[in-house]
Amino acid sequence: MVKRGFIFDLDGVIVDTAKYHYLAWKHLANELGFDFTEEQNEAFKGVSRRRCLEILLELGGISVDETQFDRWLFEKNEDYLSYIDKMDESEILPDVPKVLDYLKHKEVPMALGSASKNAIPILKKVKLLSYFDTVVDGNQVSRAKPDPEVFLIAAEKIGVPPERCVVFEDAIAGIEAANTANMISVGIGAEETLKGAKYVFRDFTEIEIDFIKQLAFI
Ligand code: BG6
Ligand code: MG
């Protein structure tokens, strides 16, 4: 039987780090004299750190030179890392281990496909690194989601053709990337936000193992 490969986004799918990204960007925006809402933060999900700062500065009507830009990038990441530093297994999103355990037990190839450059330290913090056959993150891709590069590299590394890969994503950009890669997209979040996904679940507590079983072995 030919198996499918499973690719998981990290932030907002496996761990709730989206809230820490939001807090760190909001902190920087407030320092620069403007507010940053959770609604505006939706557009930051799945998007590279650099691109996020560009959007933030556009929102604040601020233009800066490269040196200041890099300083703010660094500052935001330091702030973000102060939250990450305190993370442990309790921050794994509900029922994620149920799905990872099942797939691991069935020896289904699994990859992480994230835009984050902090993916490995986070996976280590929450003790999930060993579940993944490969980790493709922001350090290895040159084109950010919605470009499918991150998922295509992940598929190649686990040796599964793209059309046999299932992608779990909480970001609009990530669903678009999965669809462009010709993969099966599973949105985690609000249905109105993730309209383009083939399947959408509010979170992993809504996902039955039977559904995973069907996806894995069709
Ligand atoms: C994505 C997040 O996973 O990683 C984005 O959804 C974030 O919000 C991006 O900007 C880059 O993360 P990092 O950890 O490299 O700043
Ligand atoms: Mg995400």
Instruction: Give pLDDT tens digits for 37-78.
Output: 999 998 899 899 999 999 999 999 999 999 999 999 999 999
User: Which pLDDT score is estimated for 1?
Assistant: 58
Ligand 1 atom at minimal distance to the Cα of residue 76 = 16
User: Which pLDDT score is estimated for 71?
Assistant: 98
84-120 pLDDT tens trace: 999 999 999 999 999 999 999 999 999 999 999 999 9
For residue 104, give the CATH number of its domain: 3.40.50.1000
Listed residues 46, 68, 84: the one ending a domain: 84
Residues 58 and 140 in one domain: no
**Residue with CA closest to ligand 1 atom 14:** 116
Residues 107 and 60 in one domain: no
Residues 195 and 102 in one domain: yes
Residue whose CB lies within 8 A of the most ligand 1 atoms, among 8, 15, 21, 56, for a mutation test? 21
Parallel, antiparallel or unpaired: strands 199-201 and 134-136: unpaired
Whole-prediction pTM value? 0.94
Percent of the chain having pLDDT more than 70?
Answer: 99
Domain of residue 172, residue span: 5-15+89-216
Residues 122 and 207 in one domain: yes
Percent of the chain having pLDDT more than 90?
Answer: 93
Residues 132 and 184 in one domain: yes
User: Which pLDDT score is estimated for 2?
Assistant: 63
Residues 77 and 101 in one domain: no
For residue 59, give the CATH number of its domain: 1.10.150.240
Residues 49 and 116 in one domain: no
Residues 199 and 114 in one domain: yes
Residues 150 and 212 in one domain: yes
User: Which pLDDT score is estimated for 217?
Assistant: 82
Paired tokens of 170: 């909480």
User: Which pLDDT score is estimated for 78?
Assistant: 98
User: Which pLDDT score is estimated for 188?
Assistant: 97
State yes or no: pLDDT of 155 exceeds 90: yes
Task: Please confirm, yes or no, whether 9 is among the known catalytic residues.
Answer: yes
Listed residues 29, 58, 84: the one ending a domain: 84
Separation of CA 144 and ligand 1 centre (Å): 10
Listed residues 44, 63, 84: the one ending a domain: 84
Residues 128 and 34 in one domain: no
State yes or no: pLDDT of 174 exceeds 80: yes
Write down the catalytic residue from 9, 79, 133, 137: 9
Separation of CA 11 and ligand 1 centre (Å): 7
User: Which pLDDT score is estimated for 159?
Assistant: 97
- Tracing tokens 């996902």 back to the chain, one arrives at 207
- How many domains is the chain built from? 2
Q: What is the mean pLDDT of residues 191-212?
A: 96
Q: Could you tell me if the CB of 116 is within 6 A of ligand 1?
A: yes
Residues 58 and 146 in one domain: no
User: Which pLDDT score is estimated for 3?
Assistant: 82
- Tracing tokens 């059309």 back to the chain, one arrives at 163
Ligand 1 atom at minimal distance to the Cα of residue 46 = 6
Average pLDDT, the chain: 95
Ligand 1 atom at minimal distance to the Cα of residue 12 = 6
Task: Please confirm, yes or no, whether 133 is among the known catalytic residues.
Answer: no
